[in-house]
Structure 1
Amino acid sequence: MPVDVADLVAAARDGDRHAFDELVKATYVETYTLAYRLTGNEEDARDVVQEAYLRAYKGLKRFRGDAQFSTWMYRITANCASTFLGRRQRNRCEELTEDLSTRDERPAASPELQAEATALRERLQVALRALPPKLRAVVILRDVYDLPHEAIAAELGISESAAKVRLHRARKKLRDDLFTRHAEVQARAV
């Protein structure tokens, strides 16, 4: 039976703890995915998601329903990730590298194409992790979640023009980084 999120929100707002638990179940995958893409780390993503749902639970009475609950959760998650990454930046330690490779479930046309796609995905993940958190958030919200500039600005609490500028800077940094890495790989292969 499909879950009606609006009904769950209304019930949770009235104090039904089970309804809030069901809301978490209905939105967890998308919330975690966003947190993971913003932090680039599974443990950090879990911390961000936990904080996001805690904030959502505490602020549910203030949820007006002007937007979808999932959009509201995106904003809370993006804010939690931004706060988390800012705190981590201030308390920076030497970071351990982590294999964040993902599997493409579709078979490639050939092993060469599959290897090329894997290498490109790895270069892109490295380039995304190298972006400052503010730029990474804009790229992910625009290019992965396909949010318009207006929604990105609202999510991150910035002006629409600032969102456009950050997106332009982020894409330029990604492009430069990816072409530099590709040239280095090609030079080593020769």
Structure 2
Amino acid sequence: MAALVARAQSGDDAAFEDLVAATHVETYTLARRLTGDDDDARDVVQEAYLRAYRSIGRFRGEARFSTWMYRITANCASTHVGRRRRHRHDELVEDLVVVDTDPGLDPSAQADASDLRTRLAAALDELPPKLRAVVVLRDVYDLPHEAIAAELGISESAAKVRLHRARRKLKDRLFPARAGAEAEGATRGSL
């Protein structure tokens, strides 16, 4: 990949196209997870590659090209989601539910798993972009805290705090009865 980057930096557009082809799936997947929407993800990916193309000459090679693209994509997604929230409107939602069909699972377990996936996706979509980015990079991409901090341009301690807050919000959203019981127990314990 380093050879492709060097060629792209020297103005070889075909080499940049090869870099896009090599990283597009991962870049789109990250954008989709950060935005929660296919159309928004496509817009973010397009903007991310445009920014990368314009600044390929400044890429120093201190990290892998794919890592550099992750950071650009995360920044573009954050900007895009913030802009989208300022201009939010009601969306048309299809009444379509996709259920995995694994013959090894009984229908009740399939329904429970499908329901949990749907609720988790909704809970992720409701997280503020800064919290969603951290939880996706840690729990989906399994990046260590220091890499997350570098990707998002924040301190490692800020990454840990955001991750804790994001997981707490997800837990409260997914398991409200448990969150209520924990809060009640904490109140009783302080009396």
The TM-score normalised by the length of structure 2 is: 0.86
Q: Trace 1:10-159 onto structure 2 (pairs within 5 A).
A: 10-97=6-93, 104=100, 107-159=103-155
Q: Which runs of 5 or more structure 1 residues have no equivalent in the other structure?
A: 184-190
Structure whose alpha-carbon radius of gyration is higher: 2
Aligned identity (percent) is 70
**88-97 or 43-52, which moves further after superposition?**
88-97
User: 1:99–1:38: structure 2 CA closer, same or farther, 3 Å change rule?
Assistant: farther
SS across alignment from 1:177: helix
Of 157, 161, 166, the residue aligned with 1:161 is 157
Task: Please give the alpha-carbon distance, in whole angstroms, between the structure 2 residues aligned to 1:89 and 1:96.
Answer: 16
Q: Which amino acid aligns with 2:108?
A: E
SS across alignment from 1:65: coil
The TM-score normalised by the length of structure 1 is: 0.87
Q: Which runs of 5 or more structure 2 residues have no equivalent in the other structure?
A: 180-191
The aligned residue for residue 187 of structure 1 is none
User: 1:124–1:182: structure 2 CA closer, same or farther, 3 Å change rule?
Assistant: farther
SS across alignment from 2:169: helix
Task: Please give the alpha-carbon distance, in whole angstroms, between the structure 2 residues aligned to 1:49 and 1:80.
Answer: 8
Task: Please give the alpha-carbon distance, in whole angstroms, between the structure 2 residues aligned to 1:134 and 1:102.
Answer: 28
Q: Does structure 2 retain, via aligned residues, the 8 Å contact 1:108–1:114?
A: no
Q: Which amino acid aligns with 1:44?
A: D
Q: Which amino acid aligns with 2:161?
A: V
User: 1:170–1:100: structure 2 CA closer, same or farther, 3 Å change rule?
Assistant: farther
Q: What's the RMSD between the two structures over aligned residues?
A: 2.1
